[in-house]
Chain A
Amino acid sequence: MSNITLLFDTPVLALQLLADGILVGAIFALVAYGMALVWGVMKMINIAQGELVMLGGYVVIELAKVGLHPLAGVPVAAVVLFVFGWILYRLVIFRVVDRDLFISLLATFGLSILIQQLANGIFGSDVQSVDASLGTLLFFGGMLTLAKVKLIAFAAALVVGSVLFAFLRYSRLGQAIRATAQDARAARVLGIDTGRVYAATFAINAAICGAAGGLVAMTWIIHPYLGLTYTLRSFMIVIAAGLGNVAGVLGAGAGLGVAENLAGFVFGTEYQTACVFLLLVAILVARSTLLRRGRRYLQ
Chain B
Amino acid sequence: MSPRARTAALCGAILAVALAAPWIAPAIVVQMAFLWLMILFALTWDVCGGQMGYNSFGNVVFFGIGMYVCAVIQRDAGLGYFTAVFAGMGAGAVACTAFAALLGPAMLGLRGPYFAIGTLGLGVAAADLAAATEYIGAGSGMAPPVYPGGAGSARFYYYVLMALAMLAWLVLRWLYSRRFGLAVNAIRDDEDKAEAMGLHTTRYKAVAWCVAAFFLGLAGGPTGNLVGFIDPRELAFAGPTFGVWMVLMAMLGGRGTIWGPVIGAAIFHVTQELFWTYLLGWQRVAMGLLIVLIVLFFPKGVMGWLAERWPRRFARGAVR
**When the two chains form their complex, are residues B121 and A111 in contact, meaning their CB atoms are under 8 A apart?**
no
Shortest distance from the beta carbon of B60 to any chain A beta carbon, whole Å: 13
Chain A residues within an 8 Å CB radius of B125: 273-274, 277-278, 281
The reply on B247 being an interface residue by CB < 8 A is: yes
**When the two chains form their complex, are residues A277 and B121 in contact, meaning their CB atoms are under 8 A apart?**
yes
- Cα separation A297 to B111 with both chains bound (whole Å): 8
Most A CB within 10 A of own CB, among B110, B111, B122, B281:
B110
The reply on B135 being an interface residue by CB < 8 A is: no
The reply on B79 being an interface residue by CB < 8 A is: no
**When the two chains form their complex, are residues B109 and A271 in contact, meaning their CB atoms are under 8 A apart?**
no
- Cα separation A121 to B284 with both chains bound (whole Å): 10
- Of the candidate stretches A8-16, A79-87, A101-109, A142-150, the one touching chain B is A101-109
The reply on B91 being an interface residue by CB < 8 A is: no
- Cα separation A52 to B123 with both chains bound (whole Å): 22
1/0 per residue, CB under 8 A from B, across A182-200: the answer is 0000000000000000000
**When the two chains form their complex, are residues A285 and B118 in contact, meaning their CB atoms are under 8 A apart?**
yes
The reply on B318 being an interface residue by CB < 8 A is: no
**When the two chains form their complex, are residues B291 and A110 in contact, meaning their CB atoms are under 8 A apart?**
yes
1/0 per residue, CB under 8 A from A, across B96-128: the answer is 000000000011011111101110111011001
**When the two chains form their complex, are residues A289 and B109 in contact, meaning their CB atoms are under 8 A apart?**
yes
Who on chain A is nearest to B128 by CB? A274
**When the two chains form their complex, are residues A277 and B299 in contact, meaning their CB atoms are under 8 A apart?**
no
Chain A residues within an 8 Å CB radius of B295: 103, 106-107, 110
Chain B residues within an 8 Å CB radius of A116: 240, 288
Question: Out of A45, A114, A121, A228, which one reaches B292, CB within 8 Å?
Answer: A114
Who on chain A is nearest to B241 by CB? A113
Question: Out of B110, B124, B129, B131, which one reaches A284, CB within 8 Å?
Answer: B110
Chain A residues within an 8 Å CB radius of B139: 270
Given A45-B117, A110-B292, A113-B240; A288-B124 close (CB under 8 Å): no
**When the two chains form their complex, are residues A232 and B117 in contact, meaning their CB atoms are under 8 A apart?**
yes
Most B CB within 10 A of own CB, among A109, A117, A235, A297:
A109
**When the two chains form their complex, are residues B55 and A113 in contact, meaning their CB atoms are under 8 A apart?**
no
The reply on B287 being an interface residue by CB < 8 A is: yes
The reply on B244 being an interface residue by CB < 8 A is: yes
Chain B residues within an 8 Å CB radius of A228: 124, 240
Shortest distance from the beta carbon of A167 to any chain B beta carbon, whole Å: 27
Q: List 10 A-B contacts (CB under 8 A).
A: A92-B292, A101-B112, A111-B288, A274-B128, A277-B128, A280-B118, A281-B121, A284-B121, A289-B106, A289-B109
**New A-B contacts (9) at CB < 8 Å, excluding given A239-B114, A281-B118:** A92-B292, A95-B296, A101-B112, A109-B57, A117-B282, A274-B125, A274-B128, A277-B122, A285-B107
The residues of A with any CB-CB pair to B shorter than 8 Å are 45, 92, 95-96, 101-103, 105-107, 109-118, 120-121, 228, 232, 235, 239, 268, 270-271, 273-274, 277-278, 280-281, 284-285, 288-289, 292, 297-299
